[in-house]
Structure 1
Amino acid sequence: MASLTCSADQLAQLFGSNTTNAAAATYICDHFTAVSQKFSDAASAIDSTYLLFSAYLVFSMQLGFAMLCAGSVRAKNTLNIMLTNVLDAAAGAIFYYLFGFAFAFGSPSNGFIGSHFFALKSIPTSSFDYSFFLFQWAFAIAAAGITSGSIAERTQFAAYLIYSAFLTGFVYPVVSHWFWSGDGWASASNTNHLLFGSGVIDFAGSGVVHMVGGIAGLYGAFIEGPRIGRFANPGQSVTIKGHSASLVVLGTFLLWFGWYGFNPGSFTKIANPYTSGSYYGQWSAVGRTAVTTTLAGSTAALTTLFLNRVVSGHWNVTDVCNGLLGGFAAITAGCSVVEPWAAVICGLVAALVLIGCNKVAERVKFDDPLEAAQLHGGCGAWGVIFTALFASEKYVNEVYPGKSDRPYGLLMGGGGRLLAAHVIQIVVIVGWVSVTMGPLFFVLHKLKLLRISAEDEIAGMDMTRHGGFAYVYQYHDEDESNKLGMQMRKIDPEDKS
């Protein structure tokens, strides 16, 4: 908000020098300044409250991840996967506080990595307050939660803690610095040095969050290999279903709800008029972003529903939920700078990308219990390209002010410079995560810290690693029991026989 000033000379110009003495001018100006400061304080409080509320919504996505993951795995691994989601948030909080936030937003810095604000030293500043840290921490742990789904049901607990700390404390913050910090080498906010004159428009993180988490999960799942029984017979895959479609749907709706903080909240401010006194301002852009998010996810869900119905002959609720989330992951990059009709196209193609990635994964015997690498990695990459194709000139200039003639979407008449920047984003994210998370998972594998034993995997980690079952009654998995020559029977945890 522009500051308002008042002086005796200004009052004299309005009322005449003979009608305004120094004492009266001082009195009037003091009160005028007090009122002006109150308006500025109110605007700051509104923006801070908006950002905090958005952070709470994004954090609620951790509950969504936990429920989605729990429903997507077998009952014998429920405790394990829920505990990993809790620790993603807890370990992520400590390491993002100590290192991550500084690496991401520690300004002034070079274009590669931040160098200030370790352990929040010197916060708050004129640039951001504690609420900004909380919001960015919620994003960091979302990336870690994506990876945990890819390596579910067969990963040692120590490996979860190591990768989660490394991802939230270093790998993810460096990427967010590149594309979101005002000093980042490819940031659309770095008006002193804009890549191809545009920078990368990844508004809420299709690349920064979803691709990072998805590619990290890709390496983890690939290095430790598929679950026992997933590709037991040559040339044939066996679907290992999660134990609770109800939890999958619950988790999906919680993630949907949280996405209204994830995407619209990325404005970080709401009390920002584009034209003073108008009904149209950043609050309108916030609403538009929520609409594009909704349309992309809904379109992807319906497209997945009908396409899989044609292929499988069934109306599959789990596929619909994954399709919905794929549409959300895709629209996240361009949610603020595209028209609602373009969001429908985004969701339609995202469903096709997800289905295609799943087919490729099955063909190469890649096992991801939650389809996280395909969903977040594949659909996230599509979202980055989609933004470079459909970003609107008007919305780009509103959301990213400060530079005239900024490139916008190729198919909207804005040329190919934005697309070039976004292709580079995809390449560098894949490269960075490959050279950081790939070696980490490989070293854990060589040290025998990554995958649990076959005996523990068959029995289930809840009993072998966590001291009991998530439910009062537990059943042996039918397929695995038959392979081991065991008869299907109900197990009562209280039965010591």
Structure 2
Amino acid sequence: MIMEISWEQSVTYSINTIYLLFSAYLVFVMQLGFAMLCAGSVRAKNAMNIMLTNVVDAVVGSISYYLFGFAFAFGDNSNPFIGTNFFALKDVPNTSFDYSFFLYQWAFAIAVAGITSGSIAERTQFSAYLVFSFFLSGFVYPIVAHWVWSSSGWLSASLSNPLFASGAIDFAGSGVVHLVGAVAGFWGSLIEGPRVGRFDAFGKPIQMRGHNATLVVLGTFLLWFGWFGFNPGSFDKILVAYPSTTNQGNWTAIGRTAVTTTLAGSMAGIVTLFSRRLLVGHWDALDVCNGVLGGFVAITSGCAVVEPWAAIVCGFIAAWVLIGLNILTLKLNFDDPLEATQLHGGCGAWGLIFTGLFAKEEFVIQVYDSVDTGVVRPHGLFTGGGWELLGCQVIELLVIASWVSATMGPVFYALHRLRILRISVDEEIAGLDISRHGGYAYNAHHDEDQPRFYADYLRMQD
């Protein structure tokens, strides 16, 4: 049956669809950013492996999210805890079952596994990676997305009667995306243990720098570019009128969201630049890149509902959260090669709290209400809104940490007990590329060394 629509509706649907698809393409570009960032941040002998895992996130995530994940996240608008209604995709413009909406949400789902891959880099068996990636993108992440982003989710700010009259505001996913990936990565890294040689016999950390700073910077800028689809693109419909305004739509907030995103990341980068200069005695491009990304992660929750000046505060504190957690993890002998747990977990958690402190009432009404022009909504504690929104943000933080720990922790532990999680010491020393993937990523550079390393590896097997 063909749905009859007016010419005006057709134009509206067309513009909304084009914008949503363009945003999905930007978010998908972030996969390339993750790949370059990860490849540059690991040692050369593991570059091919980490790039392959990023490709696997996309291809495995596509199937798992289509078969299971999308239904769990958005398939049923009557259940507050889990969606159903599998294979319900169809051409119904601007609904939860629209093909364009699916593609945009898929791009988010595959990003989650990319976060986790950084935490367990350089020491994980590829078969184990396939298992956890499928489970994370097909089940664990979609349940959280349903809670917060579905119109019926129990934590959703879009409910007619939301939790504490507020609901949790996690506009583009500081918690739903970044904290989920980070908590999963934490358990994977903790259960696997540090890389060989990361800490000496006395527990003192030994530096293992990535092999290619150029790729790290390239990946950072690709992620920055993609974040303009990640955050502003979360306005999945442009032509939706705000209450108490005339002939205006979401485009009035899209620019603001892009600005707050940019300012938070930039401020975090500046703070990291100078603080690391004081701490280590030199200017470090790699640390600045992670600082910028930490600012982006933190602002992702409140990007649409805060003023630009608040975004600067967000980035400032995000940088110190990242620096502090990096120092703490080294003291605890915790090894995360890409600082993914600290960056996406610590800054993601701060982003949720930040929104509960600084969300502006006018912007909250613009984004989450479309009917009652006289509505009063809880907003940030520091902007006079009371404790309700902050309470919802804390609850979201706690339930995400609990849910992901209860699901991904046992998965990684089971893989560990089955001896299919971590590679052998000999393989790790030789490098995953030569021991598992047939050769180095940089064949021209290693033409002379490769036969010798491969011979050494074969001798170790004997």
TM-score range for the pair, normalised by the shorter chain length: over 0.9
The one-letter amino acid paired with 2:419 is: K
The one-letter amino acid paired with 1:219 is: W
Q: How far apart, CA to CA, are the structure 1 residues paired with 2:90 and 2:23?
A: 24
Structure 1 partner of 2:134: 165
Q: How far apart, CA to CA, are the structure 2 residues paired with 1:290 and 1:496?
A: 49
Residues matched between the structures, number = 448
Structure 2 partner of 1:298: 266
1:113 maps to which of 79, 82, 90: 82
The Cα offsets for residues 60-113 of structure 1, whole Å up to 9 and x where unpaired, read as: 000000000000000000110000000001000000000000000012331110
Query: What pairs with 1:67-466 in structure 2 (closer than 5 Å)?
Result: 67-116=36-85, 118-121=86-89, 124=92, 127-128=95-96, 129-191=98-160, 193-274=161-242, 281-401=249-369, 402=371, 404-466=375-437
The Cα offsets for residues 294-336 of structure 1, whole Å up to 9 and x where unpaired, read as: 0000000000000000010110000000000000000000000
Q: How far apart, CA to CA, are the structure 1 residues paired with 2:40 and 2:229?
A: 24
Q: How far apart, CA to CA, are the structure 2 residues paired with 1:464 and 1:231?
A: 23
Call closer, same or farther: CA 1:430–1:496 in 2, change over 3 Å.
Answer: closer
Call closer, same or farther: CA 1:465–1:353 in 2, change over 3 Å.
Answer: same
Structure 2 partner of 1:28: none
Q: How far apart, CA to CA, are the structure 1 residues paired with 2:219 and 2:328?
A: 26
The one-letter amino acid paired with 1:395 is: F
Q: What SS does structure 1 have at the residue aligned with 2:395? A: helix
CA contact (8 A) 2:77 2:150 kept: no
Question: How far off its partner does 1:119 sit?
Answer: 2.9
The one-letter amino acid paired with 1:282 is: N
Q: What SS does structure 2 have at the residue aligned with 1:119? A: coil
Structure 1 partner of 2:449: 491
Q: How far apart, CA to CA, are the structure 2 residues paired with 1:110 and 1:293?
A: 33
Question: How far off its partner does 1:419 sit?
Answer: 0.5
Unaligned runs of 5+ in 2: 456-462
Call closer, same or farther: CA 1:42–1:252 in 2, change over 3 Å.
Answer: same
Q: What SS does structure 1 have at the residue aligned with 2:239? A: coil
Q: What SS does structure 1 have at the residue aligned with 2:6? A: helix
Q: How far apart, CA to CA, are the structure 2 residues paired with 1:275 and 1:219?
A: 44
1:58 maps to which of 19, 27, 30: 27
Question: How far off its partner does 1:51 sit?
Answer: 0.2
Question: How far off its partner does 1:461 sit?
Answer: 0.6
CA contact (8 A) 2:141 2:180 kept: yes
The Cα offsets for residues 435-464 of structure 1, whole Å up to 9 and x where unpaired, read as: 000000000000001000000000001011
Call closer, same or farther: CA 1:381–1:496 in 2, change over 3 Å.
Answer: closer
* Greater CA drift, 105-114 or 135-144: 105-114
The one-letter amino acid paired with 2:62 is: A
Question: How far off its partner does 1:495 sit?
Answer: 10
Question: How far off its partner does 1:127 sit?
Answer: 2.0
Structure 2 partner of 1:31: none
Q: How far apart, CA to CA, are the structure 1 residues paired with 2:140 and 2:453?
A: 46
Q: What SS does structure 2 have at the residue aligned with 1:274? A: coil
CA contact (8 A) 1:389 1:412 kept: yes
Structure 2 partner of 1:481: none
Q: How far apart, CA to CA, are the structure 1 residues paired with 2:8 and 2:147?
A: 34
Question: How far off its partner does 1:292 sit?
Answer: 0.2
CA contact (8 A) 1:75 1:474 kept: no
CA contact (8 A) 2:125 2:422 kept: yes
Q: How far apart, CA to CA, are the structure 1 residues paired with 2:13 and 2:124?
A: 45
The one-letter amino acid paired with 2:391 is: A
Q: How far apart, CA to CA, are the structure 2 residues paired with 1:168 and 1:141?
A: 6
- RMSD of the alignment, in Å? 1.9
The Cα offsets for residues 196-243 of structure 1, whole Å up to 9 and x where unpaired, read as: 110000000000000000010000000000000001231310010000
